[in-house]
Structure 1
Amino acid sequence: MDDPQQPAVTAAFAPPPPLWKHFTRENRNKLEEIKKEASKGTNGEPVRDKKWSPAELRELEVPAELRCLVPPEIPTGEYSVFGELQTRSTTLPSLKEQGIDQLYPEPATTQDKDTAQPTSNLNHAYYLLKISKSLLLNFLEFVGALSVSPEQFESKVNDLRNLFINAHHLLNLYRPHQARESLIMMMEEQLQRSKDEIEQMDKVKAEIESALEQMQAHAGEIDPISTSAEKAPPAKKDTQQGLEDARQVWDILDKEI
């Protein structure tokens, strides 16, 4: 018999919503037929390659099983994700707004003259180091409390939880800075690749010009006016030299491109 006191095993992640079962090929074909019927013009012929906007799709009269295939409206204000309320605002709420004890001072913002955006002068690294040391100390106190009076563990667990939340919130304050630095690094890499390509093209251009100058100098050695047999070079030799010049140019291009 199963132990009634044993806690039930729960999934680590929430199951997918049941609406995924409606995304079948048959339902998609039905929706395409409805779109074709709705896009017919005055002559009764459907408009080819019509681009349907989400708002236009929501205005169509479709069965309940096809309603899940229509993009929903963009949420305004708060919305629920796995039972938790989320907001569309990208501003990180402070710990005080969430009812959590904040262990570091509020960052004082100053106006940046270059970007006209408020910048924080809070020393995040200093307070992260202090929180890390407090975590080690509180963990030792937590282990000591478990060895002496295990029933008093709750207060130390709450202290550890509060320290972890504060450290996590401090790290999240770095997200805008991380995004800017990542974008700067990507742009610098792209600029460096462009410079390398330009230098490579200049190198190929110089080598091709050198090869063309050699070909021109070789052609200048041949007297095009003279028609005497003793001065005119053999045609076979000229053909071989021309092939060698062309092969030299192609070798440069194959090596560099």
Structure 2
Amino acid sequence: MAEAAQPRPLGTAFAPPPPLWKHFTPENLKKLEEIKKEASKGEDGKPKKKSWSPTELRALDLPSELQLLVPPAIPTSGHYSVFGELQSLSTALPSLKDQGITQLYPSSPSTETDQQALSEPSRPLNHAYYLLKISKSLLLNFLEFVGVLSIAPEQFESKVEDLRNLFINAHHLLNLYRPHQARESLIMMMEEQLSRTREEIEQMDKLKVEITSVLERLEADGRAAQSPAPEADDDDGKKSTSEQKAIEDAQLLWDLLDGKIEG
């Protein structure tokens, strides 16, 4: 009865925010800004410091309602809790042995004692081979689990433990490739960024060539216009060939620039 009376901790997929969020009011934020401005004033009375680190803020004599507004120090070791589960700050993947779980694949290539194995060079551990073996074992153990449930359901615990162990081993093997996955993802992102930059440079070079060619034609037409031009025929009243070409090139330049700006 005593155990039943004790409240059970509830675990939810979306945990509520910590109670300190109630201290993040506009009034408290304004007070914190005023304290930072006052503390950063120099001898001339003008604020000289624009940004404050959490360590510098914690060194100030803040009221109790404002201390919770300062971010805590970043932990460098130990553990933290996420949705009720204890997580380690270490980025190193713990071994299955350290977690008290039976490892179903070798940590290194198996060493044989016979002469044939000793004469062969050692090969790296083939994770894909053991993942395939574990996958087949999962299917077989699941069929055995269904058979146990149909014959003696009370003996299900051992098969459930076998399935759990197989899943954990497969998950641990996949986690060994996480650093490689992160490295390859970063390489892919950098290659995409480099490709986009090259395309932009190529487009800018093409535009430069087009504008340069038009400007060269305009320059040539301007020089031709400054030279003595032949008298125009008064009978037909048409413009000279050089003037007409200069107008067409100018119109072409404006059309080109308008098209690039709109595009």
**Paired amino acid for 2:74:** I
Q: How many residues align?
A: 239
CA distance in 2, matches of 1:131, 1:243: 79
1:37-116 paired onto structure 2 within 5 Å: 37-43=38-44, 45-82=45-82, 83-107=84-108
Which range is displaced more, 205-214 or 86-95? 205-214
CA shift for structure 1 position 52: 0.9
State whether residues 57 and 70 of structure 1, in contact with CA within 8 Å, keep that contact through their aligned partners in structure 2.
yes
State whether residues 107 and 122 of structure 1, in contact with CA within 8 Å, keep that contact through their aligned partners in structure 2.
yes
Identity %: 64
CA distance in 2, matches of 1:238, 1:207: 21
State whether residues 22 and 68 of structure 1, in contact with CA within 8 Å, keep that contact through their aligned partners in structure 2.
yes
**Aligned residue in 2 for 1:113:** none
Q: Secondary structure at the match of 1:101?
A: coil
CA distance change for structure 1 residues 152 and 183 in 2, over 3 Å: closer, same or farther?
A: same
CA distance in 1, matches of 2:100, 2:160: 17
CA shift for structure 1 position 15: 2.8
**Aligned residue in 1 for 2:252:** 248
**Aligned residue in 1 for 2:120:** none
CA shift for structure 1 position 49: 4.8
CA shift for structure 1 position 175: 1.0
**Partner residue of 2:134 out of 108, 131, 134:** 131
**Aligned residue in 2 for 1:170:** 173
CA distance change for structure 1 residues 216 and 31 in 2, over 3 Å: closer, same or farther?
A: closer
1:207 aligns with 2:216: no
CA distance in 1, matches of 2:159, 2:244: 90
CA shift for structure 1 position 222: 4.7
State whether residues 54 and 71 of structure 1, in contact with CA within 8 Å, keep that contact through their aligned partners in structure 2.
yes
CA distance in 2, matches of 1:107, 1:19: 49
Which range is displaced more, 122-131 or 158-167? 122-131
CA distance change for structure 1 residues 254 and 136 in 2, over 3 Å: closer, same or farther?
A: farther
1:193 aligns with 2:230: no
**Paired amino acid for 2:63:** P
Which range is displaced more, 167-176 or 26-35? 26-35
CA distance in 1, matches of 2:225, 2:245: 12
1:143 aligns with 2:146: yes
CA distance in 2, matches of 1:124, 1:230: 88
CA distance change for structure 1 residues 66 and 122 in 2, over 3 Å: closer, same or farther?
A: farther
**Paired amino acid for 1:204:** L
CA distance change for structure 1 residues 241 and 192 in 2, over 3 Å: closer, same or farther?
A: same
CA shift for structure 1 position 177: 0.7
CA shift for structure 1 position 134: 1.3
**Paired amino acid for 1:201:** M
CA distance in 2, matches of 1:173, 1:52: 40
State whether residues 23 and 65 of structure 2, in contact with CA within 8 Å, keep that contact through their aligned partners in structure 1.
yes
Q: Secondary structure at the match of 2:87?
A: strand
Q: Secondary structure at the match of 1:132?
A: helix
Gaps of 5+ in 1: 109-119
CA distance change for structure 1 residues 133 and 61 in 2, over 3 Å: closer, same or farther?
A: same
CA distance change for structure 1 residues 123 and 252 in 2, over 3 Å: closer, same or farther?
A: farther
Which range is displaced more, 141-150 or 233-242? 233-242
CA shift for structure 1 position 196: 1.8
TM-score (norm 1): 0.78
CA shift for structure 1 position 89: 2.2
Give CA deviations for 1:192-219 in whole Å, capped at 9, x if unaligned: 2222223223322333344345445555
Gaps of 5+ in 2: 110-122
